[in-house]
Structure 1
């Protein structure tokens, strides 16, 4: 399985995704530091919310096979600057989380546009509670190539 680093704002679902990928019990855990497992690197949301920490994200990504920027469909903010992917030497994917909370197509389109402007080419919409998109994302991580 590829090792992925999750980058996104606080509350976007990075830690829950890590728990799903590792088939752990889902429980709330506020990530206070960069957290490494065999197949996931989980980062604090504050690292994305404060440009001062961008270099820490880039440094942490060295041990990953790919970078996943995580965008909640419910987010009112956009923390990903245009061409954000150019900071990284790893392939970048996007994950739209909490799709079960989508109230209209415009919310999904906005989340997708934010990821595309950041430089993402491949996007995985997921819902933890409805288990939508989780198997597609896991299959991607298990595949031999990008």
Structure 2
């Protein structure tokens, strides 16, 4: 699974939670390959010039995950963005433990729906909420 999302949205933390690693902050500077996960830098979605790097990296995975932080009002996923990949694309809403307002989760959901994802998962990497559902996909 390849994780795509803006800087600070929780891709690396999600990756650590999925692999049952100690959660530590680490800024992803380049595409990083783990056992079942490809972690991409946030700059790859924030700058259109890097879209080709995302497309090329996607060939090494079975599923693409667009990651949206529910505490952020920013959306970097263009409408129907998922159509540039020839793989299934899911949406993952992160940091739900920090979102006390359903309105924010609904906004994040709409961002992902507009990008063309097939299914949306809500997770908290800190309290492991929803993490098992993502692990099932990886198996």
| Same-fold status (TM-score > 0.5) | yes
TM category (shorter chain) comes to: over 0.9
* CA–CA separation in structure 1 for the residues paired with 2:33 and 2:65: 15
Q: Of residues 17, 42, 57 in structure 1, which corresponds to 2:54?
A: 57
* CA–CA separation in structure 2 for the residues paired with 1:134 and 1:21: 6
Task: Check if 1:108 corresponds to 2:105.
Answer: yes
CA deviation after TM superposition for structure 1 residue 37, in Å: 1.5
User: What residue in structure 2 maps to residue 69 of structure 1?
Assistant: 66
Task: Check if 1:81 corresponds to 2:83.
Answer: no
User: What residue in structure 2 maps to residue 135 of structure 1?
Assistant: 132
After TM superposition, the score normalised by the length of structure 1 is: 0.92
Task: Check if 1:97 corresponds to 2:94.
Answer: yes
* Structure 1 residues not aligned, in runs of 5+: none
Q: What stretches of structure 1 move > 3 A for 4+ residues in a row?
A: none
Q: Of residues 21, 39, 52 in structure 2, which corresponds to 1:42?
A: 39
Task: Check if 1:23 corresponds to 2:8.
Answer: no
* CA–CA separation in structure 1 for the residues paired with 2:126 and 2:32: 23
DSSP 3-state at the match of 1:63: coil
* Count of aligned residue pairs for this structure pair: 139
* CA–CA separation in structure 1 for the residues paired with 2:17 and 2:125: 8
After TM superposition, the score normalised by the length of structure 2 is: 0.97
Q: CA RMSD in A?
A: 0.8
* CA–CA separation in structure 2 for the residues paired with 1:130 and 1:17: 11
